[in-house]
Every structure is written in C-alpha cells, then in structure tokens.
Amino acid sequence: MRSVPAAAHAYILCAVLSTVLLALPALRPGAGINWVAMALLAGLYAACELPARCRHLGRSVPVSAGSFFPVLLAAAFLLPPSAALLVAIPGALVGRVERRPAALRRIWRAAQLALAIWGAAQTYDLLGGDHAPGPGPSPIDFPLVLLPGAAGALAFCLVLTVLEAGILATAERTPLRAGWHGPVLGALLPHLVHGLAGLMMAVLWQSPYGWPSALFVLLPMYISCWLFAQYHRERTAYQATIRALVQAVDIKDRYTRGHSERVGRASVLIARELGLAEDRIEVIRFAGILHDVGKLGVPTRVLRKEGPLTPEERRVIELHPEYGHEIVRGIGFLGEARAAILHHHERVDGTGYPYGLAGDDIPECARVVAVADAFDAMTSTRSYRRARPVATALTELERCAGTQFDPRMVHALVRALDRHGWETEVTSDEPLPQGTWGRRDWPETHDIPAQPVRVFAHGSAGRWAAVDEPSAHRAGPAERPAGDP
C-alpha cells in the first residue's frame, strides 16, 4: 500500500469528513458533554497505545489483539455518540503502524475507530442504554443494559469490519465479500467479550468508586490479551520451525517433494475419523509432516541413488526414524509426535523397524502415520514410477491390514476418503527416464497389471466414480509391504 490508489485516498477522505460531521453536535454550546470523562478516556486510550511505539516494549504489546477496545466501548456506553467518537482519535494518531505510509494509515485508523464507536454508541442509545447527561454522575442501570451493551459491541464489530473491507477493496482491490464475510464471523465473539469488559468499566466508572475502579477491568483484559499474543507468537515460531525442517527434507530428497505435507493431511483425516481430540489431531498432523525428517541424516547419494540399494545402504535408510527422533527430541511442543516419528515404520506383526514393536505396543499416532505414509507413497507420481489409483492403494492397504498396518487406521482412512476424497499430486519435477520404472529396490506392493485399470476419483455424490486410465507395468513380488521405507 505504499503507492495508495486514488480510490483509497477518496475513501479515507470520506471517512474523515464523516467523522468530522458526526462530531459537530458535541461542539455546540449547551451540548451537555461530560468533557472530563471524555478527556480521561481519550488519555487512557492514548496511554495504552503509546507503549507499542517503544523500542523495548513494542514487540510485547498486543495491539493487534484488540486489548484496548474495552476503553473505546466504555466511551460508547458513557458518552453521547458525537463525543464518544473523539476518544479514539488521539490514541489512533499516536499508535504503532506496521507498514508505510504511516501518516495515512494513522489517519485512516482514527477515522475507522471513531466511526465504529459512533455506531456502537448510537446502537446503545436506540436500545435504551443510559448515557451520562452532564458532568455529574449518572449510574448505569445494570443488568438491564446488558442487551444494549451487547448490541453496541456487535455494531462496533460490524462497522469496523465493513470499513476494513472497503479500504481493502479500494487500496488492494480485494473483493468485498472476501474482505468482510469471513472476518466478521470470526470477530463476533471477541468483540462481545470486549463489549462486556467495556460495559463493566462504564458501570464502575459511574459507581461511587469513580473512574479509578474502572481500571481494574482493563488490567486483567490487557493481561489476557498479552498472553494470547505470546501464545500466537510461539505458535508462529513452531510452525516456522516445522516448515524449515520439511523444506530441508524436500531439498535433500527431491523425489518426495510435497510428500510430508500430504502425509500430514492424510493423518488428520484418519485422526478425525477416529474421533480423537483436537489437540491430539494437531500433534498427529505435526507427526505426519515431520515423519521423514530423519532423512536429513541419510547421505544424499543414498537418497538420490538411481537403481538398487545395497544391503548396507538399505540399513542406512532404515536408520532415518532414529535420526528423526534425535533431531526433534528437544522440541517440546511436538509431544507424542516424536514417538510417531520414531515408530512409523513398525509393523503390527512385529517385523518392522527400528525396534520390532508389535500390535498395541506401537504408539497410536505412529500407527496413524504409517497408514497415511504408505497411502501417499502409493498414490503419488514420482520420477521413478507412476501413481497408483486411489482405489488400488486402498485395496492394498486393506490387504496388508493386520500384518503391516492397524486395521482400525486403514478402515478410518477408507471412510474418510469416501467422505472427503483425495487429490494426488506429482512430487518431483524431473521427467521419468525412458524405459525406467524403478529407481531403487525399496519395498513396494503387488504388481499392477499392464492392461488399462479403473482409476477412481472422488465425485460430488461422495462416492467413487470410475475413469479408465492406462497403468504402468511394474515388477515386484506380491508379498512386499506397501509404501516406501
């Protein structure tokens, strides 16, 4: 937005002029505005915004979390609309902005907040909320003001979101529907909480204890928003760590590019079908994404080798679960995902690696990832072979259920794909060498016949629609396990 379009300039100018016109009634003689309350609220909001510009405190102040909105909403509940909108202007003009042009963004933010407060105060008035008529105290009738207060908070949220959609449409040419339809639904509950806090501030402000008592509402609200902002930063850092590890694996083993993300997605489908808790589903997603991170410890010449692996090279490949576990050992937020990374090549019949665990001794998350890993390995087109049809891969998983895979996980994947479908992708940019179908002798599944087979794609009716596609001939004994090592 450094080069602001003329339409955006005009939009901001209209917002500023609207703010000025709506504020004029407060400046008329005899308007009966409680200027002391207005000045205190404006000063409090500006004081809350200032630390965000401090070089030492700025990164820890949760401005984006809306932690100061209760002050603005308290103004909407304490003052007439024409005076309430003035409360936001000083704080918005001194607040922090992330991108240039800073001055224009501050002016826009001031006008946007002022109009939102005016809308909240007007809605509060229309539904019977009591504003202080003059400089003296006028106690708010609680709890009768809960409904007007909630309506005022919703109006505040709606005006903010609509104005934001307008500036995005004029400045960045974002469709209006995309700019407000989703965000307004996600913002309703937080703004209701801010509205309740603002209403409590207003009630205490008009109580015999006066305005200092209102600060006791703002303090816990600010602390909770600060904690949320810290959690959001930590989560962002976690995701960046995972992306970096996955990217490193994809760079090293270009034949399986994108495989990790799809295994994470398939693992989530299985976990949801099993009815696992949301926090465990997130951990299992991490496990699926990072299951092959141990390949960072495998020599590149082995990962990219064309042709059969020697027994020694195969033993090196089979060390990657242990390498992966060592790499993520110190990442505490992964939880049981670390066990999945270590054991996702175990088999329920006890013949897997690295420790030969069997049955329920294999961690549940590892059994989930094992099925997701094998499914994507079979249905992905790679430089050394073509993808198998989804239906063929599911048949193979069902054949291996009870020996290589946990039947519960296989059946959960079948049900999930029947409901949601699956989009396969090519995971290598390299062309398939003429006449070459196998890069190495990693474990494969039964033969696919050389004649055309039925490829199944998910249809809108939720079932599998058949389409003819020629298959690739690939040799391999029927007893080999499914998926790549």
Question: Three-class SS of residue 460?
Answer: coil
List % helix, strand, coil for the chain (3-state, nearest 5).
65, 5, 35
Q: Which of 342, 349, 399 is nearest to 366 (CA)?
A: 342
One-letter amino acid for residue 112 of the chain: Q
One-letter amino acid for residue 181 of the chain: H
Residue whose tokens read 């430089």: 383
Question: Three-class SS of residue 183?
Answer: helix
Active site residue 252: no
Among the listed residues 131, 259, 295, 388, the single catalytic one is 295
- 121, 124, 130, 133 alpha-carbon torsion, rounded to 10°: 20
Give me the long-range contacts of 17-25 (CB less than 8 A, separation at least 24): 18/111, 18/115, 19/85, 19/89, 19/110, 19/111, 19/114, 19/115, 19/118, 22/81, 22/82, 22/85, 22/114, 22/115, 22/118, 23/82, 23/83, 23/85, 23/86, 23/114, 24/82, 25/80, 25/82
Q: CA 448, CA 453: separation in Å to the nearest integer? A: 9
Q: Given CA atoms 248, 254, 256, 258 in this order, what sign does their dihedral have? A: positive
From the centroid of its chain, how far is CA 300?
33
Q: CA 120, CA 51: separation in Å to the nearest integer? A: 26
Question: Three-class SS of residue 210?
Answer: coil
Which residues touch 127 (CB under 8 Å, ≥6 apart)? 147, 148, 151, 152
Q: Identify the DSSP state of 161.
A: H
- 229, 234, 237, 239 alpha-carbon torsion, rounded to 10°: -100
Which residues touch 46 (CB under 8 Å, ≥6 apart)? 90, 91, 94
Angle at 274 between CA 460 and CA 373, to 5 degrees: 80
User: Peptide bond before 143: cis, by omega within 30 degrees of 0?
Assistant: yes
Residue whose tokens read 């995971």: 427
List the catalytic residues.
295
